[in-house]
Amino acid sequence: MTTSKSRKQVKRVIVVNTDYVAGKEVKETLGIARGSTIRAKNIGKDIKAGFRSIVGGKITEYSQMFEESREEAINLMVEDAKKMGADAVVNVRFTTSMVMSGAAEILAYGTAVKLGR
């Protein structure tokens, strides 16, 4: 059994794609927080996706891969913001770029800030 003293307190960071957090004042701008991941295609997913592209329909294999990649990039961005002492990351954006044939980078970035009341 754990006690409340032994539980690790996890700092929550607010993540928004607006330039403010409703009801809060930006007290200090800390810098750009970013998180990046690079994913490569998988031969099994490529075969299934290639078949779907012939017959039509949603390519769920790639949709799932990109969803997981976005989540990982957000988590890395939040960790970067925590290192800066941020309470929130505002103006969050995503970008994707081809690194090489079959591999793409997903980058999440925003402004790490300290909030007031």
List, in order of start, the domains of the chain with CATH numbers: 14-115 (3.30.110.70)
Over the stretch 60-76, which tens digit does the pLDDT of each residue have?
Answer: 777 788 899 999 999 99
For residues 43-73, one letter each, b for 16 or more C-beta atoms within 10 angstroms of the residue's C-beta and e for the rest, the string is eeeeeebeeeeeeeeebebbeebeeebbebb
What pLDDT band is residue 9 in, cutting at 50, 70 and 90? low
Over the stretch 34-61, which tens digit does the pLDDT of each residue have?
Answer: 999 998 876 565 566 565 566 666 767 7
Helices and strands (DSSP H and E) totals, the chain: 2, 4
Confidence at residue 5, expressed as pLDDT on a 0 to 100 scale: 47
